[in-house]
Amino acid sequence: MAGNRTFTMIKPDAVENGHIGGILDQITASGFRIVAMKLTQMTQRDAETFYAIHKERPFFGELVEFMTRGPIVAAILEKDNAVEDFRTLIGATNPEEAAEGTIRKKYAKSIGENAVHGSDSDENAQIEGAFHFAGREMF
């Protein structure tokens, strides 16, 4: 069904700081079902491809370095209105601007190292999920 899946990554900062459990608990308590999930590490080429839309931005090099420096948790999540509801759950890109109780408000330190990713459209959710998972890894 269109519109009911999104893709997320628990980023290297949150994994390093021991927040996998807390973040997954908040995600599932908020009504998202885990469709696919793994601990993995992006190569430089993976990160450059995944974030190709940002390649002209001044922070692109830093972003690729950050996203490749350690393992991430990649997951596909299912819920009605998944993309929008998940972006609400994680909060603004800059944790200083994120609403109280959001995942980035609780776990992120800076605009660059902001704990979690959430797809920004149904189309990108599909592309990003397929980037990380084969069909037989989706349940």
Binding to ligand RTP by residue 91, rule CB under 6 A?
Answer: no
Binding to ligand RTP by residue 24, rule CB under 6 A?
Answer: no
The residues in 104-123 that bind Mg ion, with binding defined as CB under 5 A, are 120
Q: How far is the CB of 28 from ligand RTP (least distance, A)?
A: 19
Q: Which of 49, 81, 88, 93 binds ligand RTP (CB under 6 A)?
A: 93
105: nearest Cα among 7, 26, 21: 26
User: Of the ranges 16-24, 40-48, 106-114, 128-136, which one interacts with ligand RTP (CB under 6 A)?
Assistant: 106-114
118 interacts with, out of ligand RTP, Mg ion, none, CB within 5 to 8 A per kind: ligand RTP
Torsional sign, CA 39, 42, 46, 47: positive
Q: How far is the CB of 136 from Mg ion (least distance, A)?
A: 27
- The one-letter code for the residue type at 13 is D
Q: How many angstroms separate the Cα of 11 from the Cα of each of 1, 3, 29, 139?
A: 27, 24, 20, 23
Q: Which of 14, 117, 128, 129 binds ligand RTP (CB under 6 A)?
A: 117
CA–CA distance, 32 with 77 (Å, rounded to integer): 6
50 pairs with which residues across the strands?
none
Catalytic residues: 117
